[in-house]
Amino acid sequence: MAVRESHQETSGTPDPIERGFATLNTLRIGVKAMVEKDGELRKAEILSMKQRKDTPSFYVHYVDFNKRLDEWIPASRIDLSQEVEWPFPEKNEKNRKEKTATTNNKAQGKNQAQKRARADSRDISSTPDLLTGKNINVSKAQRPSKAGGKENREDETPVNSSFIGSEAASVAGTPRPEFEDVDMVDAGYSDSKDMKDEENGMEMSREEEIEKLRTGGSMTQNPIEIHRVRNLNRLQMGKHEMEPWYFSPYPEFFSDVDLVFIDEFCLSYFDDKNCFERHRAKCTLVHPPGNEIYRDDYISFFEVDGRRQRTWCRNLCLLSKLFLDHKTLYYDVDPFLFYCMCTRDETGCHLVGYFSKEKDSAEGYNLACILTLPQFQRRGFGRLLISFSYELSKREGKLGSPEKPLSDLGLLSYRQYWREVLVELLMQEGRESVSEYELAMYTSMTEKDVHETLLVLNMLRYHKGNWIIVLTDAVIDLHNKRLEKEKIKGIRKIDPARLQWKPPVFTASSRTWNW
């Protein structure tokens, strides 16, 4: 017997939930049941079902957990002794009909409005100006930019700030006064709650931030992508075997393969081991197909043009989509440059990670997409990728910022990099005063990123119409601890003197999509 109970959605309208007991034969897509995960029961939603070796398998999304944890599970992990939540197909059908009716009404209203507008335009075009006696020329309204960044930068008022030395650290615990005339600059990756916390001077610990990202779900730009089922089970790339996190548009028949083989040099993919071994015997590529622009005793960077190496770059995008939920680029690689970081040994240059960059970014982005492969994460490679992107911006003489929105792991990496660079710069001896503009010029970060980072670190105080940068005791202690860890782990950095690169110049055709 099913029982209905009502709960409140974010919109404030009650939504009935139908609960009841289910069997394997009655389970269907959309049902939320309790599933065993790591020794405990978690609520999960069934996103897909199929038969595997004569037994049913279910693809589930764990409620309130990041969707990279979605997985195929056997029926034995579903606890059918507890009630499940049933979906409401009749409600979806009703919504579809209402949406169709609303769309038709809007279309009829739009046609009528267009007829009225044409009639009005005929009247207005012949109306004389009351002051000059001339006719008024009615021009088409300018379309707003979809990027949402360029116009905002032009309208922003530059913020003047100065740096006060460690003698001001005593006010670290003093809450920043709120002023009604202060307009906080909105960061592209922050939500309203984050901005309220920052305005109130609240700091979020790394554990709290990771917890927020863990429960925050997907950051995908396309809502349709949220419930797409991960299609590959396992990958073998070089000597590493890994499990994908998200869906990637590999050929459909690859979803039935237990292990997909990827050539770590040319990034070609195979569903059969014999085919892969025959390919490896013939493949001569031992590094990314581009120019090596940086080399030290630890890593190398290669610059690959998406227009000249379409197949390789598309294979790279296919691979990265397995670990980046928000990534949508695949076929359109012509307008991008790919900067690939590799480690070297006697067999060749092995891909560690990469970032892509538009050849001509109207919004001033110095990075479009960034990824460190899972087998190389938590080893400092992400920071090297970010640092290298800013070194390129310094050579170009421009201020740069990553394209928003960032992925969850990308956001954590960037916030850590911005904090380390700014604090290290502020703690240099003999630096008594500096403005946000000067910080931006030193680091090639945009003033907006500098300002937002200082806000997150609670290092800004509003005083007599200006923002004052304050080095707090907490920030200094955190910086000293980081320096001690770097000495122990031997953290490496990019050496600008080893960068052999000049900003490339492209023709108009090479900067656009090949449509």
CA 171 to chain centre: 35
Separation between Cα atoms, residue 436 and residue 101, nearest integer Å: 53
Distance CA 492, CA 341 (A): 14
Catalytic entry in 198, 264, 391, 403: 403
Output b/e per residue, 118-139; b: 16+ Cβ within 10 A. Answer: eeeeeeeeeeeeeeeeeeeeee
Selection from 454, 252, 337 nearest residue 260 by Cα? 252
3-state DSSP helix/strand/coil percent for the chain, to nearest 5? 35, 25, 40
Tokens 């690689």 label which residue?
333
Say how far apart CA 307 and CA 266 lie, in whole Å: 16
Q: Which residues of 198-207 are buried (b: 16+ CB within 10 A; e: fewer)?
A: beebeeeeee
Say how far apart CA 339 and CA 304 lie, in whole Å: 6
Residue of 262, 301, 254 lying closest to 283 (CA atoms): 262
CA-based nearest residue to 368, from 359, 356, 379? 356
Contacting residues for 80 by C-beta, under 8 A, at least 6 apart: 21, 22, 23, 24, 33
Q: Which long-range contacts (CB under 8 A, 24 or more apart) does 180-186 make?
A: 182/462, 184/455, 185/156, 185/159, 185/448, 185/451, 185/452
Q: How far is CA 499 from CA 67, 334, 369, in A?
A: 38, 24, 21
Assess whether 403 carries a catalytic annotation.
Answer: yes
Distances in Å between the alpha carbon of 327 and those of 16, 249, 330, 365? 35, 11, 9, 16
**Per the structure block, which two tokens stand in for 105?**
């009404």
Q: Looking at this protein, which amino acid is placed at residue 116?
A: R
Cis peptide bond upstream of 14, omega within 30 = no
Containing 450, the helix (H) or strand (E) segment is helix 447-456
Sequential DSSP letters for 404-440: SSPPHHHHHHHHHHHHHHHHHHHTSTT-----HHHHH
Closest CA to 280 of 237, 235, 341: 237
Catalytic residue numbers read 403
